[in-house]
Amino acid sequence: GKLWRGTTGTAGEIGPLLLVGRGLTSTWGQRGSLEALCSGPALMQTYDLLKQGLPLRGRVNSELSAHHLAQAAAEGDPLARRVIVRGGRYLGRAVAAYVNIINPELIIVGGGVTALGELFWSGLERGYREGVLPQPAAACNVVPAALGSNAGLIGAGAMVFRHRAAERFWL
């Protein structure tokens, strides 16, 4: 029932996972990583570049938000819808690989992409089914973070509080 953090505290950080050798470059400097393929800023940048007919090159602009992408998809823009589903599918494949290797009971997906709604989740489910083995899939639930895109911030605050409480230091 505890969050597994690994030796250096980075266990479960799948953003740097390399999936393809092309496309945008992540903030980590990796071309074709999960972060460069399906983070909110990467999806928005992908949409903008494709809409302009430009190649998918350059570093992901972490200042971008997927809000406008979600709005375009809600208005029926087919390119926006494809970009969102594709991003979800990439994440689903990465989650499947993680589940196959680690065999956890639960995967909680959080961050800004959770605001992309059903389109993103349909892509995620498809990618997950394509890659996960039957036995680990039967034992693992993949769910959106209950706290949505703020889950990381709230979790970080809770970890600091727990750490301070363990030191008997109260704020």
| Each residue's pLDDT tens digit, 37-66 | 999 999 999 999 999 998 888 888 887 888
Whether the per-residue pLDDT at 169 is higher than 80: the answer is: no
Residue with the bigger pLDDT between 134 and 59: it is 134
Whether the per-residue pLDDT at 157 is higher than 80: the answer is: no
| Each residue's pLDDT tens digit, 13-38 | 788 888 887 888 888 788 888 999 99
- Give the angle 122-27-124 at the CA atoms, nearest 5°: 10
Q: Which burial class, exposed, middle or buried, applies to 38 when counting CB atoms under 10 A from its CB (0-12, 13-18, 19+)?
A: buried
| Each residue's pLDDT tens digit, 76-98 | 999 999 999 999 999 999 999 99
Residue-level pLDDT at 28: 79
Q: What is the mean pLDDT of the chain?
A: 84
Query: What's the token pair of residue 131?
Result: 């890659």
Taking the C-alpha atoms of residue 83 and residue 170, their distance in angstroms, rounded to an integer, is 46
Residue-level pLDDT at 107: 92
- The mean pLDDT value for 105-111 works out to 90
The share of the chain scoring above pLDDT 90, in percent, equals 49
CA–CA distance from 124 to each of 18, 58, 84 (Å)? 17, 25, 10
Domains of the chain: 34-166 (3.30.420.40)
CA–CA distance from 16 to each of 56, 79, 86, 133, 146 (Å)? 18, 26, 18, 23, 24
Residue-level pLDDT at 171: 46
Taking the C-alpha atoms of residue 60 and residue 56, their distance in angstroms, rounded to an integer, is 10
